[in-house]
Structure 1
Amino acid sequence: MKTHFALLGLCSVLFLGGCSSTSSVMKEPAELAHLDSFYTLKKNWQVKAETMPNRDSEGLFFAEDKKNIYVATATGYLMALQKKPTSRWQDQVIWQTKFASEVVSGPAKQGEQLIIGTAKGALISLSTNNAQIKWQTQLSSEVMSYPVIVQQKIFTRTVDGKLYAIDFETGEVVWIVEHEMPTLSLRGSPAVLYHENILYVAWETGIIQALSVNSGTLLWEQRIAQPKGRTALERVVDIQASLVIKEGRLIALGYHGKLVSMNPSNGGFFFEKELSGYRDFVVDENRIYVVDDSDVLYAFDLFSGAVQWTQTAFKDRLVSDLVFYKDNLLISDGWGYLHWINRIQGTESVRVKHSNEYGDGNRILRIQVRDNILTLLDNEGTVTQYEVVPSNLALFKKESAK
């Protein structure tokens, strides 16, 4: 039996395959220094579904078109919401539907179809117009990884170590690749990465594989995390962070492993760094920005791997996946704070707190950035759209400078 564990809420929780008991460890988070923020958040709208268990949110993302945004919750809801603010929250919701099983991945969108995966192993295609189901395919187990749609196929993974290629129009299985899974791993599975007719897959064994998109044939594989230690927990390795290709380099981060830059054509290393992490990182034309499993942030030179800066101000604050906000990095922490980080220096420039009528400082599970608009999904199942605007301090200083 495969066992998962995940870092949740404000503590580390071990899920021991079917057992009801859990073991929790709480670390003292770094105290935030005072910061005068030049920006604040203007709430445009907010819609609530149901409180979600954090462990089932890793495969959930926003999908969108010109007018609408689509989001699923781990409690089984799938919603279509207007991007433009309306006078009532009921009008913000175009449609919503609830499934008997938890939705644990998606929605992914192509054309007028949405693709979601459920905890009961169903991969479902629905209409963006009214949520009508076009087809439903039963896979072998929980569909945890975000569905990737390329070449009229859907590529997704199940927790029992299978990678599926599914026909986008019919839902028929085109091919399956199986990988032997470890007994213990982190909860969740990153999406596959498609690039130039190759699928790059990060497995819970600490191995990255390159596969033919047409047949699933193995082209090469490389290990970036090696089990070591005396106890089962010490020997856990995994790759949870999404893979990135930038400037001809495949970047990967292993839990109890390494940060590596690889040749996408053969898996050879350009450089390796001893670093353990599981959150999604981001890459620009010059640097790789990473958060490790102690919530310390790093910037590495994209080409040499040299450390550009290190930021320890958020240590043990349960930092989220990294995203870009214009010239800054944007992260959230386990207490509902959003932090803007200067890319060049690694210093915090802006801090605001997300809260709503359902709770103060709810943990943010997903952040989408579009210009100065933020859309958030939090652990209360609340979707919030904010506009980032100058704070009173910024306006005061602007007036004083005249």
Structure 2
Amino acid sequence: MRASRTIIALSVLAMVAGCSTLNKLNPFAKEDKFGPAKLEELKPGVPARIVWKHSIGKAGVNVFTPALADNSVFVADADGNIERLDAATGKLQWRSKAKSDLAAGVGVSPDGKLVAVGGLKGQLMVFDGSGKLLWQVQASSEILSAPAVGNDVVIVRTGDNKVTAYEAADGKKRWFIQRVTPPLTLRNSPGLVIANGNVYAAQPAGRILALALGNGVPRFEVPLSEPRGATELERVSDISGAPVVYENDLCAVSYQGKVGCLDLGTGVARWSKPASSDVGVGVDQRFVFVSDEKGAVQAFAREGGASAWKNEKLAYRRLSAPISYGRFVAVGDLEGYVHFLSREDGTVLGRVAIGGGAIKAAPVLAGSNVIFQTQNGTVAAIAVE
């Protein structure tokens, strides 16, 4: 099977006995029938420009998401390099080398004083704001997504669907909780987000789990979508990427499921609509944005979930999670292009090529710039005049 974020993790190997190829179990295999949509010429196009570019190592089969804190951008690669860059200029502030290859990162505390990454064999490594290793512990399984880091706690979700919290000062285990994993799940970097005194964890089978930071007591566990279908493959409906907190809303999307927003405190559903994505959502004051697995970009009203627009001009270009950026929505694609769509009606208004291979990581905003990281290690800050 082609290595990508859409690879299915098989937790019961006996299920595939007798299959001639794992591609038969890949829900995205239908994409092989279609090439990526050709890019239309834009006249004149909005003046997007690259403010700075930086090169770090390749991501390999995993996805490394840049993180922003204390006016700095933190990036990592599969070879164990961790770097801190000035967010405005891209200037390297420090580089550190982990003791092993990496599979996940980067997680950063709000003040930029704690930096966490996941090792290839399940090691959790935490560094201080100057790049010095503070501690390392062995997690129960592989870490596929960036750790969530608070000022006094570091939290990871491992491949065995265990969420574990560690004391930021010394790595002592604070609490853990484990949920049953379905026979098939997406290997799609399921994320965590800290807010409102809780950590919110993306879960298989379309569920979101909220846990108290102090002791791990469940606040709520609710379905955004319910698995449907006659086969295990059809029933894959994992929450994709990290849930997004905006004001009192907790918004997320699942594969073969729904997009929607929940009440941040109670988990009560505000709205949900059919959707399917393996990369997560973007949220702003007015809209929730989704890049689906067929390359369509959609906008839903954050209040009520009414469909605002849908653009299918980027079909099968394997888009990143979208991000709201001023009057635009920005998404990356499989060829290293960043596309800027109108926030109001979805029209493609501009693009810029940053090179460096596919863009799978979720972008981040840094002041007036939006920052993308490619699978080949190019980190670029882009601005639109």
**Deviation of residue 113 (structure 1)?**
2.9
**Deviation of residue 193 (structure 1)?**
2.7
Taking a change above 3 Å as real, the CA distance of residues 336 and 111 of structure 1, as seen in their structure-2 partners, is: closer
Check whether the contact 2:185–2:238 (CA below 8 A) recurs between aligned residues: yes
The amino acid that maps onto 2:359 is I
Count how many residue pairs are aligned between Structure 1 and Structure 2. Answer: 369
Quote the residue 1:398 is aligned against.
none
Check whether the contact 1:72–1:103 (CA below 8 A) recurs between aligned residues: no
Quote the residue 1:370 is aligned against.
366
Check whether the contact 1:79–1:93 (CA below 8 A) recurs between aligned residues: yes
Distance 1:79 1:272 in 2: 38
Distance 2:263 2:364 in 1: 30
The answer to whether 1:114 aligns with 2:115 is yes
Quote the residue 2:80 is aligned against.
76
2:204 alignment partner, SS class? coil
Residues 308-328 of structure 1 deviation map (CA, whole Å, 9 limit, x = unaligned): 111111121111111122221
1:251 alignment partner, SS class? strand
Quote the residue 1:35 is aligned against.
42
Distance 1:374 1:252 in 2: 21
The amino acid that maps onto 1:75 is D
Quote the residue 1:126 is aligned against.
127
Distance 1:204 1:30 in 2: 31
Task: Write the mapping of 1:199-214 to structure 2, written as runs, cut at 5 A.
Answer: 199-214=199-214
Distance 1:249 1:83 in 2: 28
Residues 318-367 of structure 1 deviation map (CA, whole Å, 9 limit, x = unaligned): 11111122221111111221111111111111112222xxx6xx212343
Q: Which of 31, 51, 54 is residue 46 of structure 1 equivalent to? A: 54
The answer to whether 1:65 aligns with 2:70 is yes
Distance 1:302 1:175 in 2: 34
Check whether the contact 1:341–1:350 (CA below 8 A) recurs between aligned residues: yes
Distance 2:246 2:107 in 1: 25
Residues 55-109 of structure 1 deviation map (CA, whole Å, 9 limit, x = unaligned): 311x53234434x5331112322223455759xxxx8473342532324222424
The answer to whether 1:196 aligns with 2:196 is yes
Check whether the contact 2:100–2:119 (CA below 8 A) recurs between aligned residues: no
Residues 157-212 of structure 1 deviation map (CA, whole Å, 9 limit, x = unaligned): 11111111110101100101111111211113433233322332221132222222
**Deviation of residue 305 (structure 1)?**
1.4
Distance 2:175 2:344 in 1: 44
Taking a change above 3 Å as real, the CA distance of residues 185 and 73 of structure 1, as seen in their structure-2 partners, is: same
Distance 2:68 2:276 in 1: 30
Check whether the contact 1:261–1:272 (CA below 8 A) recurs between aligned residues: yes
Q: Which of 371, 376, 379 is residue 380 of structure 1 equivalent to? A: 376
The answer to whether 1:176 aligns with 2:176 is yes
Distance 2:67 2:324 in 1: 16
The amino acid that maps onto 1:363 is A
The amino acid that maps onto 1:123 is L
The answer to whether 1:145 aligns with 2:145 is yes
The amino acid that maps onto 2:55 is V
Task: Write the mapping of 1:212-227 to structure 2, written as runs, cut at 5 A.
Answer: 212-227=212-227
Taking a change above 3 Å as real, the CA distance of residues 14 and 185 of structure 1, as seen in their structure-2 partners, is: closer
Taking a change above 3 Å as real, the CA distance of residues 41 and 225 of structure 1, as seen in their structure-2 partners, is: same
The amino acid that maps onto 1:28 is G
Check whether the contact 2:103–2:144 (CA below 8 A) recurs between aligned residues: no
TM-score (norm 1): 0.82
Deviating more after overlay: 311-320 vs 229-238: 229-238
Q: Which has the larger radius of gyration?
A: 1
Query: Structure 1: where are the runs of 5+ without partners?
Result: 391-402
Taking a change above 3 Å as real, the CA distance of residues 309 and 175 of structure 1, as seen in their structure-2 partners, is: same
Quote the residue 1:290 is aligned against.
290
Taking a change above 3 Å as real, the CA distance of residues 98 and 347 of structure 1, as seen in their structure-2 partners, is: same
Quote the residue 2:337 is aligned against.
337
The answer to whether 1:270 aligns with 2:274 is no
Taking a change above 3 Å as real, the CA distance of residues 93 and 243 of structure 1, as seen in their structure-2 partners, is: closer
The amino acid that maps onto 1:156 is V
Runs (4+) off by over 6 Å: 17-20
1:60 alignment partner, SS class? coil
Check whether the contact 2:9–2:185 (CA below 8 A) recurs between aligned residues: no
Task: Write the mapping of 1:297-316 to structure 2, written as runs, cut at 5 A.
Answer: 297-316=297-316
Check whether the contact 1:29–1:314 (CA below 8 A) recurs between aligned residues: yes
Quote the residue 2:136 is aligned against.
136
Check whether the contact 1:279–1:320 (CA below 8 A) recurs between aligned residues: yes
Quote the residue 1:393 is aligned against.
none
The amino acid that maps onto 2:77 is T
Distance 1:220 1:85 in 2: 42
1:205 alignment partner, SS class? helix
Distance 2:188 2:258 in 1: 19
Check whether the contact 1:252–1:259 (CA below 8 A) recurs between aligned residues: yes
**Deviation of residue 376 (structure 1)?**
3.2
Taking a change above 3 Å as real, the CA distance of residues 229 and 380 of structure 1, as seen in their structure-2 partners, is: same
The amino acid that maps onto 2:213 is V
Distance 1:94 1:262 in 2: 39
- What is the aligned-residue identity percentage? 25
Query: Structure 2: where are the runs of 5+ without partners?
Result: none
Deviating more after overlay: 235-244 vs 374-383: 374-383
Check whether the contact 2:127–2:135 (CA below 8 A) recurs between aligned residues: yes
Taking a change above 3 Å as real, the CA distance of residues 303 and 48 of structure 1, as seen in their structure-2 partners, is: closer
Task: Write the mapping of 1:81-92 to structure 2, written as runs, cut at 5 A.
Answer: 81-82=85-86, 92=92
